[in-house]
């Protein structure tokens, strides 16, 4: 039975060679195409001792890179006494086996590094289950190669003790565990949906964005939440929700979510459905961008690709250009604003621009509201208190002794609550029961 990485175990300091395949349609940092995979490798605890790049029209079906580069890579591995090779691309089981036969060291791909980081950073039972599911789904078609890992190389990233025998038994056990995890996570997601739905009375805003874009720092600046802030990829895996009190009155619930990344493994997106429930149910998304990164546009595109995958691309969203204090040249911001003219420039670290962000959030939430006339009884304290908290009351009048009529602007999501309490609502001069 395959043993995946324990979420309690520290990573081994393995020596790694990074390999990048530069394809015509790829998005890379022109100054350092391996910048992101280097950050991932270091976050995973690897010691990067060398790198190799090759421009290709498409990956080699047998060995990812060309045969000449494979020979060059073998020499580099021997010279640097490397323990493993990290390919900045998803590779198939056959490609991995072919490379390992030639190189004599373990070969892992981008997805395995990301899964390893997630396993290390998982803190709650929910996130541990999600990571284990993603690992198992990734490893299932690769069990045979993982046997080879164990028979020839020491353990480490991508290898956490897979057995050498009974491949079919292993497959059945893995498939059974996958079904068990899916059932558990399905219950967690159902509970999460109920929890999020129960908060419908308060507007909800969710932070999304590329990993290390500064979402947690922004959440701390807006709410004083004190959530973990680290200059590492995927420092936050578990969703946190805190109350954001506006300076001019009013409040929303603000949620921090797991960061996205280009080519985020589909298995991770699927297994983290419960965690992403906060974003799906939010009234508004704040898409946080590291404006100081030369890859800001590519990172925006990568986040949008994930949002599209989970059905949130058309969700009401404000683009937040964060880390303005780190931008080396104002022209960086000018270019981004030219492409995203409704974006808000902030620095979560210094607090600059947070007042503008608050106003933009207020206006965006109000766009999803309507002008209404609401009539109820003076003694209906629960409804009146609800309206005082969630509606902008412009006028109040009394009639028939115990009736009160309120002209107000109210979020559409609040209509369900009023309907449950039999409150009459008029919009556009027409009386309706919502």
Give me the DSSP letters along 23-81.
-TT----SS-TTHHHHHHHHHTT-EEEEEEEEE-SS-BTTTBS-HHHHHHHHHHHHHHT
pLDDT value, residue 153: 42
List, in sequence order, every beta strand (DSSP E) within 337-423. 344-345, 369-377, 392-399, 403-411
Q: Quote the CA–CA distance of 315 and 212 in Å, as a whole number.
A: 22
Contacts 24+ apart (CB under 8 A), 399-405: 402/377, 402/378, 403/375, 403/376, 403/377, 403/378, 404/375, 404/376, 404/377, 404/378, 405/373, 405/374, 405/375
pLDDT higher than threshold 80 for residue 286:
yes
User: Does residue 49 contact residue 16 with C-beta atoms inside 8 Å?
Assistant: yes
pLDDT value, residue 63: 93
Band the pLDDT of 369: cuts 50, 70, 90. Answer: confident
Q: Is 186 left (phi over 0), alpha (psi -120 to 50) or beta?
A: alpha
- Where in the chain do CATH 3.30.70 domains reside? 369-433
**CA nearest neighbour of 88 among 32, 18, 142:** 18
Q: Quote the CA–CA distance of 223 and 242 in Å, as a whole number.
A: 7
- Topology of domain 369-433 in CATH is Alpha-Beta Plaits (3.30.70)
CA distances from 99 to 94, 104, 119, 394, 397 (A): 9, 8, 26, 71, 79
User: Does residue 358 contact residue 326 with C-beta atoms inside 8 Å?
Assistant: no
98-154 tens-digit pLDDT: 999 999 999 999 888 888 887 777 777 777 887 888 888 888 877 765 545 444 444
- Where in the chain do CATH 3.40.50.300 domains reside? 200-366
CA 331-333-336 angle, to 5 degrees, is 110
Q: Quote the CA–CA distance of 82 and 85 in Å, as a whole number.
A: 8
Across all residues in the chain, what is the average pLDDT?
Answer: 80
- The 3-class secondary structure across 169-211, one letter per residue, is HHHHHHHHHHHHHHHHHHHHHHHHHHHHHCCCCCCEEEEEEEC
| Rg (alpha carbons) of the chain, rounded to whole number | 26
pLDDT higher than threshold 60 for residue 224:
yes
Half-sphere exposure of 362 (CA within 13 A, CB side): 16
CATH code for residues 200-366? 3.40.50.300
Give the number of other Cβ atoms within 10 Å of residue 213's Cβ. 28
Q: Determine phi and psi for 373, rounding to 5 degrees.
A: -110, 125
- In eight-state DSSP terms, residue 142 is G
- Where in the chain do CATH 3.40.50.11060 domains reside? 15-167
pLDDT higher than threshold 50 for residue 417:
yes
User: Does residue 286 contact residue 315 with C-beta atoms inside 8 Å?
Assistant: no
Q: Determine phi and psi for 64, rounding to 5 degrees.
A: 70, -55
pLDDT higher than threshold 80 for residue 254:
yes
Percent of the chain with pLDDT over 70: 81
pLDDT higher than threshold 50 for residue 264:
yes
User: Does residue 372 contact residue 380 with C-beta atoms inside 8 Å?
Assistant: no
pLDDT mean over 369-380: 86
pLDDT mean over 268-286: 73
Return the structure tokens found at 107. Answer: 């070969």
Per CATH, is 15-167 categorized as 3.90.930.60?
no
Q: Quote the CA–CA distance of 106 and 97 in Å, as a whole number.
A: 9
Q: 352: which residues sit within 8 A by CB, 6+ positions away?
A: 324, 325, 346
pLDDT value, residue 50: 94
Give the number of other Cβ atoms within 10 Å of residue 304's Cβ. 16
47-56 tens-digit pLDDT: 999 999 999 9
Q: Is 31 left (phi over 0), alpha (psi -120 to 50) or beta?
A: alpha
pLDDT mean over 25-46: 83
**For the ranges 14-23, 180-189, 191-200, which has the lowest average pLDDT?**
191-200
Q: Determine phi and psi for 180, rounding to 5 degrees.
A: -65, -45
pLDDT higher than threshold 90 for residue 69:
yes
């Amino acid at each position: 039975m395959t043993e995946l990485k324990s979420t309690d175990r520290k990573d081994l300091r393995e020596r790694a060679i990074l390999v990048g395949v530069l394809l015509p349609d790829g998005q890379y940092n022109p100054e350092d195409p391996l910048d992101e995979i280097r950050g991932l490798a270091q976050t995973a605890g690897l010691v990067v001792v060398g790198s190799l790049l090759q421009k290709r029209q498409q990956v080699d079906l047998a060995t990812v890179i060309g045969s000449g580069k494979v020979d060059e890579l073998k020499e580099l591995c021997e010279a640097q006494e490397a323990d493993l090779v990290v390919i900045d691309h998803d590779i198939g089981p056959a490609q991995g086996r072919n490379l390992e036969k030639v190189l004599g060291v373990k070969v892992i791909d981008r997805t395995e590094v990301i899964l390893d980081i997630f396993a290390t950073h998982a803190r709650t039972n929910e996130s541990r289950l999600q990571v284990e599911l993603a690992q198992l789904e990734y490893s299932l078609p690769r069990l045979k190669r993982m046997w080879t890992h164990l028979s020839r190389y020491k353990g480490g990233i991508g290898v956490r003790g897979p057995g050498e025998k009974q491949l079919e038994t292993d497959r059945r056990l893995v498939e059974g565990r996958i079904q068990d995890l899916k059932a558990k996570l399905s219950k967690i997601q159902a509970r999460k949906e109920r929890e999020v739905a129960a908060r419908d009375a308060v507007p909800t805003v969710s932070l999304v964005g590329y990993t290390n874009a500064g979402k947690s720092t922004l959440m701390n600046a807006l709410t004083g939440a004190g959530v973990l802030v680290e200059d590492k990829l995927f420092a936050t895996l578990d969703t946190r929700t805190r109350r954001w009190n506006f300076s001019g009155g009013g409040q929303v619930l603000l949620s921090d979510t797991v960061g996205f990344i280009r080519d985020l493994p589909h298995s991770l997106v699927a297994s983290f459905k419960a965690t992403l429930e906060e974003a799906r149910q939010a009234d508004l998304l704040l898409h946080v961008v590291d404006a100081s990164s030369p890859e800001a546009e590519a990172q925006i595109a990568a986040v949008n690709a994930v949002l599209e995958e989970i059905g949130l691309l058309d969700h009401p969203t404000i683009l937040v250009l964060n880390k303005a204090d780190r931008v080396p040249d104002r022209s960086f911001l000018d270019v981004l604003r030219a492409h995203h003219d409704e974006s808000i420039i902030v620095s979560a670290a210094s607090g600059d621009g947070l007042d503008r962000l608050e106003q933009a959030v207020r206006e965006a939430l109000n766009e999803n509201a309507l002008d209404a006339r609401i009539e109820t009884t003076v003694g209906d304290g629960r409804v009146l208190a609800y309206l005082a908290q969630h509606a902008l009351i412009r006028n109040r009048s009394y009639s028939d002794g115990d009736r009160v009529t309120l002209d107000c602007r109210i979020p559409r999501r609040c209509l369900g609550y009023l309907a449950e309490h039999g409150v009459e609502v008029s919009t556009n001069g027409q009386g309706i029961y919502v």
